Chains A and B, each alone.
Chain A
Amino acid sequence: MNKTTILALLMIVAAAVIFMNASKDVSTYSNFSEAVSSGSRVKVVGVLAKEKPMEYKPEQNPNVFKFYMKDNKGEERQVILAKAKPQDFERTEQIVVTGSMKGSDFYADEILVKCPSKYKEEEITLRKSS
């Protein structure tokens, strides 16, 4: 066997190992009931439960923001996020949180919020009267 062949084989083996490993880093978007049953770290996608209270008290702890989220199956849970309250959070359309269940709450340390597009639905701005 020449060196090129050996190299190619090594590469293929390495690629296979890496891809097997990397597949563990990948998951689907989950929901709260799956998070409860699996107990592992997942990404849950949902919307803000606007009628429920939000709590961000920076004077007590600026690293904790609590809110209620409704997942795709309609299940509602309190999310305890280890971050500051994101700007303009009340207007978010969609939320993705990464974390795991602990008791009846979802403890998250990552959040991605999707806000309504600033450009598409914006009305035509009228020139100021002056």
Chain B
Amino acid sequence: MDKIQYVGEALWIGYLCKAFILGGFVTSVLSLFSYTYASFGPTQSSINWKKLGLVSFGIHAALILSLLGLMFYAMTHQHYEYSYVFDHVSGELPMKYILSAFWEGQEGSFLLWMFWNLVIGTVLIRINDEFNVEVMAVLLLSQAWLNSMLLGIYLPFGEEIKIGSNPMMLIREVTAAPIFNNADYLSLIQGRGLNPLLQNYWMTIHPPFIFAAFALTVVPFGYAFAALKKRSFEAWLTPALPWALFGTAVLGISLIMGSLWAYEALSFGGYWAWDPVENTSLVPWIILVGGIHTNLIAKATGRGIKSTLLFYLGGFLMIIYSTLLTRSGILGDTSAHAFTEMGLEWQLTFFVITFLLLGLGFFIPNYSKIPSPAKEEAIYSREFWMYVGSLVLFFSALLINASSSLPVFNTIIRAFDPSYIGRVIKDPIEHYNKYQLWISVFIGLFSGAAVWLSFRGIQKPNKALGLRLVAYGILSIAFTWLTTLWITLPDWHHVLMAATAWFTIISNAHYLLDAAIKNTKALGTAIAHFGFGIMAIGILASALNFSYLSNPFVFRGLFGGEGDEEKYIQLIKNKSLLVKDYVVTYTHDTLIGKTRHYDIEFKQLAGDSASGTTFVDSFVTRPNAVYSNDFSKVAAFNPDTRHYAGKDIFTCVVSLPAQVADAEQAKQMEDSLKYQSHSIAIGDSLTLGESTIWVDGINFPPKYPEYVKNRHDVGFEVAYHVKSSEGGIESGSCAIGLDGNILYKYAGKHENLGWRIRPAEALMDQLLTPENDLVYSQLKLKRGESIDWQGYKITIRGFETQADTFRYKAEKGDVAIMGLIDFEKNGSAQTAKPIFVLRGNAPMSIKDYLPIDGLHIRLSHIDPSTGIFELRVAKDIRTQQSVIPLEIATEVPRSDYIVLEAKIFPGINLYWLGSILMMVGLLIAWWVRFKENKQWTSV
């Protein structure tokens, strides 16, 4: 077969991108080796190696930035010949989502991660401390691995092995489709665009934060590695700490953002679901928090260096482990997060193994050389309780990780025993909550007490301290009792969690006022621990005590036990429903772009029945449904939440009538309707089942909205009113329109009756006589003259040379004259506007129709010399005018309802406040440690 010469492909982009990717990989490896060699010995050659490492890093950075720029160019210019552009961009995608589209795919998100590595590498080079060479080597090792994920090289070893996935492959290279036999295929295709679920601002801001955090966590790993490599176990503790604090804060902020995203914009129905994807991002955060605590201990007392090393090595290891889990498809159906597989699971596994071996390979041989004081710490020393707290954190991470890794264990066991049946957690949320509750109890207790103790136990415990802790204890019991007045704490576990949370809140609030104001180092500590307690109370309030606004009248007892709770309510448009103390009404829906917004009105009744129907509060929420890019069905529901200081009211549509949610179902339903013919005289009624229709008359022209929009040659509207079994009377109309030879019917919809009413075709025949059957009379008269015809007084009022009606579209060269002809009868006048056209010497007559009287009027000739108009006039033969043939479908399923999930989350703001305060505490601590470090501030 001949090679096809494709039209319009910008192949240079692909060649350049592939060169940048390959060049980026080569230079990152070169820089990695240079820094590695530089770390051996303080000789002159080491300095040269470091220079080479620096230069190759610079070239690498330039190549990757060029790659980013060029890929952006391809995406903004819609070069669909490239698979990545095709998969993520479409002509309809607003420019504001172009960044989201860029990192929607795995390759783009790897590039985002690499971008942050470049930024961090540049900062590290500027700082250039004694560990610089080793930290850079580790950073470049991760960079080279990430870069390898983009290579797209196939190795022909038996089965084809793929190294990396190149985003800038041509679409025709990766997809086989007959369309590529067409040299001009580019003009025929359009991109898939961004998944509608991801078209919101969270997708723009969340990924940069999370990948910045991923990149930042490599630095503590790098310092830990540097310490082991140089066998310098103490000096690294000072520069590593601020990096760990900053990275942990950014990772925490990303977690909060993800939580907000899930809560505010996705239909998960909450802010944390213990989904494996969430868990594997939380685990490194917990581990790094543990590391920060042991790092502080080690700086102050020289203890816990081994733990610090392990925590920092483990933090980044868990980051890349989470990358492996979320991107390899191994999680299968245990996760709600949809990640497309790239076939890179082995490469990702080796990425993890490399760092695991690197960490352990340097830790184990050096284990005995790592200093640790022989003397035991005092039980009343701060470091003892901080250390125990770190162990608790380690435990927490271990538990979450073990449970989230079940699919990994299953896969590993199945590799040895293919018959092994994989294990799953029956009820994940319950499982995680059950154990993490205890973590919270210990953290609350230790963080509340430890802040008042001193390092090395210099200050011996005294009576004042004891009394103070007892006072906090009593206060926290009192606050816990107050809490139970507000929310339900179902058992003693939860009471204990609340009490320990209050303990740390009270203790740290006091610490904040007492000590931290004078001591900036203590400020971050106090705020972070205070925030932890607040967050724990917020979780107890919102996650344990949320309730559904649901209809208590729906029959119960079906499920018996937990499943018995009514969750959702059906809301019929404009029919109010009383749920708990709210009157809820679905009032409107509006389609904007691909999103249908539903207005749900809530009116809160005054608590006591004595005040009658007075409302103490009213508000509207607007949850929405997003249609897929091709509009064929609803792709996602997005919630809307009403916020109060003390609670949130969360609303989300969970179900729509099938015919609204899905175009195919709508067509099926339309086809399945059984219309029955009925003839009803004007003024008469017809009863079908328990409902009745009265026909009121015929209207010209129809006012039916869809009819008005489409505008037909001729049309009639039937006006009627109906009464349902409940007694409500609705007036309505249906219409029929003729366009050329095509008849259009517009049905009247009556959801309360389950009726669809439309005119029968016979109505058109009955009212409009076909052209061939019309008997035209020929009339000749001058402008201003009148003539009598069948009781009408016909007058030529004049004419216009600018013919303008919807029946006539002017073409170039046309000579058109539109007559203005008055028809008067019984004192009422109508004006007909027939048109006479000369198109290339061929005369044409475009008739006008007066529907009320059924008059057809043509202008067949105008004699310019005499000024005589030749008219042809005919009248419809209207028999049986008073009997209207209608078609009525009954038992039509409703399409005017939504099924709504409405939840009340009490105290959710405490959760947000607490978690944000934790990050604020971390950032303050980072700032203090950053300022402390002279070497840095001089940069």
Q: Which 9 A-B residue pairs are closest in the complex by CB-CB distance?
A: A58-B570, A109-B563, A84-B655, A82-B563, A62-B568, A84-B654, A127-B190, A25-B431, A62-B570
In whole angstroms, how far apart are the Cα atoms of A124 and B186 in the complex? 11
B residues whose Cβ falls under 8 Å from a Cβ of A: 87, 171, 175, 177, 179, 187-192, 195, 333, 336, 340, 376-377, 379, 384, 388, 391, 395, 398-399, 402-403, 406, 421-427, 430-431, 434-435, 550, 554-555, 558-560, 562-570, 572, 630, 633-634, 637, 654-655, 661-662, 894, 897, 899, 901
Q: Could you tell me if A58 and B897 are in contact, using CB atoms closer than 8 angstroms?
A: yes
B188 touches A126 (CB 8 A): yes
The answer to the question of A27 belonging to the interface, with a C-beta cut-off of 8 Å to chain B, is: yes
Q: Mark A101-122, 1 if CB is under 8 A from B, else 0.
A: 0100001011010100111101
The answer to whether A42 touches B426 (Cβ under 8 A) is yes
| A20, CB-defined interface residue at 8 Å | no
Which of A83, A85, A98, A99 has a CB less than 8 Å from the CB of B567?
Answer: A83
Q: Is A70's CB within 8 Å of the partner chain B?
A: no
Give the residue name and chain of the A residue nearest to B568 (CB): A62
Least CB distance, A68 to chain B, in whole angstroms: 18
Residues in B whose Cβ lies below 8 Å from that of A120 = 340
Q: Are B376 and A2 in contact, with the CB atoms below 8 A?
A: yes
| A15 sits at the interface (CB 8 A) | yes
Q: Are B340 and A117 in contact (CB under 8 A)?
A: yes
A73 contacts partner chain B, Cβ-Cβ < 8 Å: no
A125 near B427: Cβ-Cβ < 8 Å: no
A85-B177 in contact given A11-B395, A25-B431, A28-B421 (Cβ < 8 Å)? no
Are A87 and B431 within 8 A (Cβ)? no
> Given the complex, which residues of A lie within 8 Å of B569, measured CB to CB?
62
With A82-B563, A87-B634 known as contacts, the answer to whether A7 contacts B655 (CB < 8 A) is no
Q: Are B175 and A124 in contact (CB under 8 A)?
A: yes
- Which residues on B sit within 8 Å (CB–CB) of A85? 655
> Is A56 close to B, CB under 8 A?
yes
Whether B566 lies near A22 (C-beta < 8 A) is no
Tell which of B179, B425, B550 touches A26, judged by Cβ atoms closer than 8 Å.
B425
B residues in contact with A107, CB < 8 Å = 559, 563
Q: What is the minimal beta-carbon distance from B453 to any residue of chain A, in angstroms?
A: 15
Please give, as numbers and ranges, the residues of chain A lying within 8 Å of B562 by CB-CB distance. Answer: 109
CB<8 Å pairs between A and B, sample of 23: A3-B379, A3-B384, A18-B435, A19-B402, A28-B421, A28-B422, A29-B422, A43-B426, A59-B897, A63-B567, A80-B558, A84-B901, A87-B655, A99-B563, A102-B560, A109-B563, A112-B333, A119-B192, A119-B340, A120-B340, A126-B190, A127-B187, A127-B189
Closest B residue by C-beta to A45:
B333
Q: Using a CB-CB cutoff of 8 Å, which residues 28-71 of chain A contact chain B?
A: 28-29, 41-43, 56, 58-64
A16 at the interface (CB under 8 A from B): no
The complex places the Cα of A109 from the Cα of B563 at a distance, in Å, of: 6
Query: Which of B87, B402, B559, B564 counts the most chain A CB atoms within 10 A?
Result: B559
Contacting residues, chain B, for A59 (C-beta < 8 A):
570, 572, 894, 897
- Closest Cβ of chain A to B455, distance in Å, is 16
Which residues of the other chain, B, contact A64 by a CB distance below 8 angstroms?
558
A78 in the interface (beta carbon within 8 A): no
Which residues on the A side are within 8 Å of B567 (C-beta)?
63, 82-83
Q: A63-B568, A107-B559 are in contact. Are A15 and B655 (CB under 8 A)?
A: no
Contact B426 A41, beta carbon cutoff 8 Å = yes
**Would B554 and A126 count as touching, CB distance under 8 A?**
no
Picked from B406, B427, B431, the residue with its CB within 8 Å of the CB of A98 is: B427
User: With a CB–CB cut-off of 8 A, which chain A residues contact B894?
Assistant: 59
Q: Are A11 and B554 interface neighbours, CB within 8 A?
A: no
Smallest CB separation, A32 vs chain B (Å): 16
Report the separation of the CA atoms of residues A62 and B899 in the bound assembly, to the nearest whole angstrom.
7
Residue of A nearest to B636 (CB): A87
Alpha-carbon gap, A58 to B567, bound state (A): 12
Docked pose: A107 CA to B406 CA in angstroms: 26
Contact with B along A74-86 (1 / 0, CB 8 A): 0000001011110
Given contacts A58-B570, A127-B187, contact A7 B423 (CB under 8 A): no
- Minimum distance in angstroms from A14 CB to a CB of chain B: 7
- Closest Cβ of chain A to B105, distance in Å, is 10
- Whether B192 pairs with A26 at a CB distance below 8 angstroms is no
Contact of A94 among B87, B333, B391 (CB under 8 A): B333
Q: How far is the CB of B135 from chain A (nearest CB, A)?
A: 31
Interface contact B426-A25, CB-CB below 8 Å: yes
Complex Cα spacing A117 to B227, Å: 47
Query: In the complex the two chains form, is A98's CB within 8 Å of B426's CB?
Result: yes
